[in-house]
């Protein structure tokens, strides 16, 4: 990565919105230029009502407008904005995203629970020095809780649960302090504990999770509990017996009494009990004895992805991938999968260059087609390639000539078996034989990319590619989809063999992989 980049990261959660500006220099050196948090309470009442509160929407829009102004002043080149649990569930999320885009020009992306869990885990595994041995990662948000089981730097299990401090407060505890219903002897705290246990245990038993004595805990709720422990017990580490005592102490406190608790954050008094009970039950289910708080979070996982993108994708041209990712994401394409697809495309084009001899311009068409190849699914999975063709013909692309746009659109169309049409007037100035050859090279490489991960499926990442006398060998990460990729590739091998006159091999990369 040769140039300095300034990236703004906006994390819109159920309770708070966080904004970082990071300066990424040569060698992936990181310097934080700005950091702030606002409690906009976007999830206020949403888990009972199912829609966003207008006042909360106004607070969020104002926060985004402020962040946009700061980003402009700090010369930020790219803003990455993402929303989590609340926006995954409310019925009016699309209109909210449109409002943010209209008012601020910022594209806000909603990430899935699974993606959220993986990004949090990747950040802690990469950055947290205490992430060693067997341990669990727990991130308690306002609307969801992400739990991962890890051994050193390997993730064994990674799940997002519909459990969060704000959600559980709204649905179960309701008031401060929680009170029993007049018509029932049911205790809301006991009902809450039973619900948490049932939700987590169902996954734990089904997937045969191992127990772990230690938890690394991220998120504001866990750090807030740790701060109370520091003031009352003298250690930031949260021990299970001390946490239970805290829950017993604050269970029936009024707001005024909660504010007086040493170390209490006044803005969290309405959700601190639900968060503490949730953390205690996570510890009980996992049989953990202590929680070590960490400052690393989802934003760090997003930042690591951005650094990897800047570092690994070395497109030797003026092609700016970021706006293309944004447009494709609007059409329902997963940004995580887009990055993997482009990385694969980069490797495929570069490692076969000694065979196809295409210049850099053709690589740009290949990359653009790779990014948008699944965009037609946003319209319909039926004949989605025709919808992709229409989208590409009518969207803004970094291409100046009509024939370039037509070429990219036809690559996506022909990926599903349609025949290329080079009789269009826009191709008249090009040599048909050279055009046909270049098109077939790019299409054959796109077919390989499609075999490594079709629409809406996790993509297999190419680690190495080598050209041999009679074959081209791809070494990929081991996983459940490798055999499926081989089968899918076998169905698409004819054009590749015709173009390169070599067999294409896929081998899982690992200690015992066969040499190609």
pLDDT digits (tens, 9 = 90+) for 426-444: 998 888 899 999 999 999 9
Output the pLDDT for position 49: 93
- Name which CATH class applies to 114-299: alpha beta
Output the pLDDT for position 263: 96
Question: pLDDT confidence of 483, banded at 50, 70, 90?
Answer: confident
- Beta strand 503-509 pairing with 471-477: parallel
Least confident stretch, 141-145, 154-158, 241-245, 315-319: 315-319
Question: pLDDT confidence of 311, banded at 50, 70, 90?
Answer: low
For 180-210, the pLDDT digits (tens) are 766 556 799 999 999 999 999 999 888 899 9
3-state secondary structure 85-127: HHHHHCCCHHHHHHHHHHHHCCCEEECCHHHHHHHHHHHHHHH
- Burial of 233 per CB tally in 10 Å (0-12, 13-18, 19+): middle
Q: Phi-psi region for residue 180, left (φ > 0), alpha (ψ -120 to 50) or beta?
A: beta
> How is residue 177 written in tokens?
């302090």
Question: pLDDT confidence of 51, banded at 50, 70, 90?
Answer: very high
Query: Could you tell me which of 277, 54, 83 has the C-alpha nearest to residue 164?
Result: 277
Output the pLDDT for position 28: 67
Output the pLDDT for position 514: 43
Least confident stretch, 169-173, 366-370, 428-432, 433-437: 428-432
Residues of the chain with CATH 1.10.3210.10: 313-509
Residues of the chain with CATH 3.30.420.40: 5-110
Question: pLDDT confidence of 378, banded at 50, 70, 90?
Answer: confident
Output the pLDDT for position 480: 56
Output the pLDDT for position 459: 73
Output the pLDDT for position 316: 47
Output the pLDDT for position 192: 96
Averaged confidence pLDDT in the chain:
89
Least confident stretch, 70-74, 105-109, 236-240, 394-398: 394-398
pLDDT above 60 (res 318): no
- Beta strand 462-467 pairing with 290-293: unpaired
> How is residue 106 written in tokens?
């910022």
> What does the pLDDT average to over 463-488?
79
3.20.20.70, 1.25.40.10, 1.10.3210.10, 1.20.210.10: which CATH number matches 313-509? 1.10.3210.10
For 83-106, the pLDDT digits (tens) are 999 999 999 999 999 999 899 989
Least confident stretch, 7-11, 273-277, 330-334: 330-334
Could you give the dihedral angle defined by the CA atoms of residues 447, 453, 457 and 461, in that order, rounded to the nearest 10 degrees?
-150
CA distance 351 to 357: 11
Residues of the chain with CATH 3.30.420.150: 114-299
Output the pLDDT for position 13: 94
For 291-309, the pLDDT digits (tens) are 999 999 999 999 988 887 7
As a CATH number, domain 5-110 is 3.30.420.40
| Percent of the chain surpassing pLDDT 90 | 59
């Amino acid at each position: 990565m040769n140039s300095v980049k300034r990236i703004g990261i906006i994390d819109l959660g159920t309770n708070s919105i966080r904004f970082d500006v990071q300066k990424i220099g040569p060698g992936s050196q990181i310097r934080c230029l700005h950091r702030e948090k606002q409690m906009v309470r976007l999830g206020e009442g949403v888990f009972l009502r199912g829609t966003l509160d207008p006042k909360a929407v106004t607070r969020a829009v104002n926060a985004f407008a402020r962040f946009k102004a700061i980003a402009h002043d700090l010369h930020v080149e790219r803003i990455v904005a993402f929303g989590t649990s609340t926006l995954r569930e409310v019925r009016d999320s699309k209109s909210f995203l449109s409002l943010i885009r209209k008012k601020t020009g910022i594209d806000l992306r909603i990430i899935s629970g699974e993606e959220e869990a993986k990004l949090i885990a990747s950040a802690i595994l990469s950055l947290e020095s205490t992430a060693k041995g067997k341990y669990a990662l727990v991130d308690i948000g306002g609307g969801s809780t992400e739990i991962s089981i890890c051994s050193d730097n390997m993730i064994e299990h990674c799940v997002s649960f519909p459990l969060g401090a704000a959600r559980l407060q709204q649905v179960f505890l309701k008031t401060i302090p929680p009170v029993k219903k007049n018509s029932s002897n049911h205790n809301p705290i006991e009902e809450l504990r039973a619900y948490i246990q049932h939700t987590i245990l169902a996954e734990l038993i089904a997937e045969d999770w191992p127990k772990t004595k230690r938890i690394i805990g991220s998120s504001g709720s866990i750090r807030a509990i740790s701060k109370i422990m520091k003031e009352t017990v003298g250690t930031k580490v949260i021990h299970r017996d001390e946490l239970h005592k805290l829950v017993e102490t604050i269970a029936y406190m009024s707001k005024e009494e909660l504010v007086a608790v040493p170390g209490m954050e006044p803005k969290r008094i309405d959700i601190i009990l639900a968060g503490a009970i949730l953390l205690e039950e996570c510890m009980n289910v996992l049989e953990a004895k202590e929680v070590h708080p960490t400052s690393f979070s989802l934003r760090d996982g997003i930042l690591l992805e951005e650094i990897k993108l800047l570092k690994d994708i070395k497109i030797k041209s003026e092609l700016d991938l970021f706006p293309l990712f944004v447009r494709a994401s609007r059409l329902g394409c997963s940004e995580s999968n887009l990055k993997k697809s482009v990385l694969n495309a980069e490797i495929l084009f570069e490692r076969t260059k000694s065979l196809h001899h295409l210049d850099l311009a053709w690589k740009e068409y290949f990359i653009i087609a790779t990014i948008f190849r699944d965009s037609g699914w946003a319209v319909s999975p039926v004949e989605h390639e025709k919808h992709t063709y229409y989208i590409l013909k009518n969207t803004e692309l970094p291409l100046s000539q009509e024939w370039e746009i037509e070429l990219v659109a036809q690559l996506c169309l022909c990926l599903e078996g349609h025949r290329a049409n080079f009789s269009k007037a826009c191709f008249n100035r090009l040599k048909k034989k050279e055009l046909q050859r270049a098109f077939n090279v790019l299409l054959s490489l796109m077919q390989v990319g499609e075999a490594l991960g079709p629409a809406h499926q996790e993509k297999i990442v190419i680690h190495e590619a080598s050209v041999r006398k009679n074959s081209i060998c791809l070494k990929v990460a081991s996983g459940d989809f490798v055999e499926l990729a081989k089968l899918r590739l076998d169905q698409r091998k004819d054009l590749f063999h015709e173009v390169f006159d070599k067999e294409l091999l896929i081998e899982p990369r690992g200690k015992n992989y066969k040499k190609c």
